Structure 1
Amino acid sequence: MESIILLTGNVKFPITLDPGVWIFDDRKVDLNTYFEKEEKKDNEMEEYTKAVSEHWDREIREGAVFPPTLKTEKKYEKERILTGTFGIPFKPFLTNAEPEDSSTKVIVETTTEEHTFTFEQAKAFILGFSIDGKPLIEDGPVYVYFGDGSNVENPIKRVKRFTVK
């Protein structure tokens, strides 16, 4: 029962979260790359043209390269799951609980303390549930990362409940 997290409080539908099944969820994100800032491209059309011309040149030089088979894709996905560091956005869970209109904050309860956040801050949370393919057993079951990645080095750990107020 230690790996179960409750989402309760001022909501129409209290939700029980089980991080053990999130590895199969399509909404999961790779935390190794999620918080990296991407530089915006000034001219997308120019970049697209360069990419297409490089591809065309390669096909002329080397011939067409066929896409990988389904078997190799499955092998790669399995390896990625077994060794990856993943998280999942908190917003869909918060939305599905249907908080009351009067709700303004979310309290993250850990085994030792409580952290209070605005509703907008909580919508941006990413719940980390595995590191290097292993569940967060010792200080988990999830880590709470802020949406802007400002606490990547020191996430909120040992989370046991989210309470909407």
Structure 2
Amino acid sequence: MIVPIIGNVTYSITLDPTVWIFDDRKILLEELTENKLSTAEETDEIEKASKRWEKELDPQFHKPPVNRSIKQFEREKILTSSYVMPLKDFINNAEIKTDVEDVTLVTENGDYNITIDDLKEGYFLFALDGKPLKENGPVHFLYQDGANINDPIVGIKKIVIN
């Protein structure tokens, strides 16, 4: 149930989608399909630059946000909702080396080549109806624009940065 990021990166990272349910960065699948853009992308450039600067100065920046307390309503919502995780933070933390243009998603059914920009802006579907993706899992890849929402890349076992 883990997905390693390997290849032309400074740091090989292992993703564990089973713990993402407690991560504040997760997005409801319904919100993704309705908006097709995350709220971070809707903010203006000045606000983005300001947030990046504040994060760089914050010593707690390198710790992922985690839900500290989950109320009963939120617990029920988690157990019945479908969630996606934006990949940008993970890809940035792996520190991709220069001149990388494409990525190979290694799956049970063969390899898929996508651009590095598609990967950075993409999402991993990791929970469907509150349950982890055991069949064709552990994650499904969705493009940012939702073009493959009905036919995601499934069964991803490894991300190879070429």
Is TM (by shorter chain) over 0.5? yes
The equivalent residue for 2:11 is 13
The equivalent residue for 1:55 is none
Q: CA deviation at 1:37?
A: 3.7
The equivalent residue for 1:100 is 97
Q: Does residue 129 in structure 1 map to residue 126 in structure 2?
A: yes
Q: Does residue 116 in structure 1 map to residue 116 in structure 2?
A: no
Query: SS at 1:36's partner residue?
Result: helix
Give me the TM-score of the superposition, normalised by structure 2. Answer: 0.77
The equivalent residue for 2:30 is 32
Once the two structures are superposed, what CA deviation does each residue of 1:88-121 show, in whole Å capped at 9, x if it has no partner? Answer: 0011111100000121111111012111111111
Deviation above 3 Å: which 4+ runs of structure 1?
none
Once the two structures are superposed, what CA deviation does each residue of 1:42-84 show, in whole Å capped at 9, x if it has no partner? Answer: xxxxxxxxxxxxxxxxxxxxxxxxxxxxxxx812111111111
Counting matched residue pairs gives 129
In 1, the alpha carbon distance for the partners of 2:35 and 2:25 equals 20
Give me the TM-score of the superposition, normalised by structure 1. Answer: 0.75
Query: RMSD in angstroms over aligned alpha carbons?
Result: 1.3
Larger CA Rg, structure 1 vs 2:
1
For structure 2, list consecutive stretches of 5 or more residues without a partner in the other structure.
37-69
Once the two structures are superposed, what CA deviation does each residue of 1:112-145 show, in whole Å capped at 9, x if it has no partner? Answer: 2111111111111110001100110011000100
The equivalent residue for 1:80 is 77
Letter in 1 for 2:7: G
The equivalent residue for 2:147 is 150
Q: Does residue 160 in structure 1 map to residue 157 in structure 2?
A: yes
